[in-house]
Amino acid sequence: MDFFAVFADPTVWVALATLIVMEVVLGIDNLLFISILTNKLPEQHREKARRIGIGLALILRLGLLATISWIVQLTQPVFTVLGNEISWKDMILIGGGLFLVWKATKEIHHSMDPVDHKDTMIGAAGMTFGSAIVQILMLDLVFSIDSIITAVGMTPHVEVMVIAVLVAVTVMLLAANPLARFIEHNPTIVMLALSFLMMIGTTLIAEGLGFHVPKGYIYAAMAFSALVEVLNMVARRRRAKKAVH
């Protein structure tokens, strides 16, 4: 079908707008992980790692769009466990969810144990750039597959999916450095972001096991928690100003 003919249909524009919003929201999960992970690198490597991580997300998503017929097959059942049909997509989501829960738990432990955190920061030079990119790539793959399969269910037009992915990744690229700096300068936000990652990981595991969790509930809870933390930050700053005066 001709590119311009596709966009002559008003319903395609509605699908595109919806898909862009969905891709941007899903991209927040990815961006949170990238921001927290790259903030552990030496400062001179952080921006480069973020750009590479987001670039890999774009390459993976466009690559997956080029193999849509294969992606759709990932939803076909491979085996059954306790009456639940498990597909390759489910296994990828479960694996990604377990990795996210493990990573978030480990980072929370390091944040709560200053002595252990110092040891790991000394040892962080061993993982640094290469290890960070590998971990980002793993989560990029999980989020990309989930994103593309969701997109396939919303529109049959690859052109629409490509535009939505490009817009979402552009937003991620623009938001990466400000978000990372905000997280770095507000330690309490780090704990909140890690809690978000743990909740997202748990949701991925549940989805992989066949328990559908409406995304709206997850993001509403995240938005409410973020609002409460913003109010706490404002209150702390006001108290600090009063203490100075």
How many angstroms separate the CA atoms of 165 and 178, rounded? 21
Q: What is the pLDDT of residue 37?
A: 84
pLDDT category, 4, cuts 50, 70, 90?
low
Between 166 and 5, the higher pLDDT residue: 166
- With 80 as the cut, is the pLDDT of residue 72 above it? no
The two three-digit tokens of residue 244, written as one number: 């100075």
Averaged over 191-199, what is the pLDDT? 84
Close Cβ partners of 120 (under 8 Å, ≥ 6 residues apart): 110
Which among 201, 180, 209, 171 is positioned nearest to 49, based on CA atoms? 180
> Which 8-state DSSP code applies to residue 80?
E
Residue 56's alpha-carbon distances to 123, 140, 181, in angstroms, are 26, 7, 21
φ, ψ dihedrals at 86, nearest 5°? -110, 125
pLDDT category, 85, cuts 50, 70, 90?
confident
pTM of the model: 0.71
Please report the beta strands in the chain, taking only residues with DSSP state E, as ranges in sequence order.
77-81, 84-87
Averaged over 5-13, what is the pLDDT? 72
